Amino acid sequence: MLLKLFKGISPGVIFLIALTLGALWVSAFLNPQMPAPAVYETSPMPLYGIIKQITGNNLLGGVILSLLAVTILIFLLVSFNTSVFFINERTLLPALFYILFSALFPRQQVMNPVIPASIFLMIALMRIMKAYRKQGTAFNFFDAGMLISIGSLFYINILWFGLLLIIGIALLRTVNIKEIAISILGLLTPYILTIGLYYVLGKDIGAFLADINYNLFGKTAGYSFSRLTIIVLILTGIIFLISTALLLMRMSSKKIKSRKTFYLLLWMLFISLVLYLLLPSVSVEMIWITGIPASYIIAHYFVFVKKKIIPEIMFSGMFVLVILLQAFYIF
């Protein structure tokens, strides 16, 4: 019954999703927390540093900015599927699942650089897919490189997703050295401009380079997982594995563009998991990025699965457990 309520695209479903978003961010407004002692807080990248200066010590203001950024992000999630139509059905489920992912770690519902960086990464994905069947040199990859690089000036580890540019070229087009070169140029341009601006303003370029190194390879404090969080993560993991299996079984029946879009999303998911496992500077804040491809894959499962009872139980279980997780965090 609960799954059926969220499956449509009517104004009522939009209202329910908006209501869910508000409900799952209540704890952040009632009990705003200081950001985690992460490397991006102690040595913020330039654009995130500007946000920190604007908000100062206003924790509530930071929560409001983060919620606005999440709202933009879920709009982009729905818009991407609407434009490429890779799920093959108009659905608002990716937005709902991203909202649920955003509530898995209540302590991350604060002002942080990963959310605005994820917006730029999402737009970069959209630009990459615009290159599909485009004649001549696709400067979309330069645009995507610029967007990823600008995002990294909020959260440096977005820069690793520059690999998606090369993967996108390999997936969508005949490999072209010129397109690879302009992709790299797109990634470099914001940093060249930033260093030039630092030089003109007389700021310490060496300190900026040191901040880049620290944000990439410094160590962030670990996250303490509650028992309920572990239970929710296990259920979510089971749902995700089942969803991935269904997607891979149906992949050959999909149109070429849809297939390539999902492959690009799977690569994005793989990169985010590798970063979480291998880089000491990365912690659970990566959920804001991992949640993007995961939301599409799980949404695809719930749109096309034929059985009714088991999917309904899994969906309702995940939904209710996330709400309980938020409720326990408040009290």
Strand, helix or coil at 161?
A: helix
Higher per-residue pLDDT: 306 or 243 = 243
Identify the weakest region by mean pLDDT among 36-50, 262-276, 284-298.
Answer: 36-50
- How many angstroms separate the CA atoms of 91 and 80, rounded? 11
Position of tokens 């309980």?
324
Ramachandran area for residue 193 (φ above 0: left; ψ -120 to 50: alpha; else beta): alpha
| H or E element that contains 210 | helix 205-217
Q: Would you place residue 58 in the very low, low, confident or very high pLDDT band (cuts 50, 70, 90)?
A: confident
Query: Would you mind telling me the total number of residues written for the chain in this entry?
Result: 331
Q: What is the pTM of this model?
A: 0.95
Percent of the chain with pLDDT over 90: 78
**161-181: average pLDDT:** 92
Percent of the chain with pLDDT over 70: 100
Amino acid symbol at 134: K
- How many angstroms separate the CA atoms of 226 and 237, rounded? 16
206 contacts: CB under 8 Å, gap ≥ 6 = none
- How many angstroms separate the CA atoms of 245 and 41, rounded? 38
138 contacts: CB under 8 Å, gap ≥ 6 = 131, 173, 179
**Cβ-based neighbour number of residue 154 at 10 Å:** 25
- How many angstroms separate the CA atoms of 107 and 285, rounded? 10
- How many angstroms separate the CA atoms of 300 and 107, rounded? 29
Higher per-residue pLDDT: 9 or 147 = 147
Does the structure show a pLDDT above 90 at 7? no
pLDDT tens-digit readout, 80-120: 999 999 998 899 999 999 999 999 998 889 889 999 999 99
Of 199, 183, 190, 164, the residue nearest 45 (C-alpha): 190
Expressed as residue numbers, the domain containing 80 is: 2-330
Position of tokens 């000491």?
280
Q: What was the pLDDT predicted at 143?
A: 96
User: What is the overall mean pLDDT for the chain?
Assistant: 93
Identify the weakest region by mean pLDDT among 65-69, 199-203, 206-210, 217-221.
Answer: 217-221
pLDDT tens-digit readout, 209-227: 999 999 999 998 888 888 9
Amino acid symbol at 253: S
Question: How many domains does one find in the chain?
Answer: 1
pLDDT tens-digit readout, 300-330: 999 998 888 999 999 999 999 999 999 988 8
Q: What are the tokens at 200?
A: 């003109």
**238-269 burial: b if 16+ Cβ within 10 Å, else e:** ebbebbbebbeebeeebeeebbbbbbbbbbbb
- How many angstroms separate the CA atoms of 183 and 200, rounded? 27
Does the structure show a pLDDT above 80 at 36? no
Amino acid symbol at 278: L
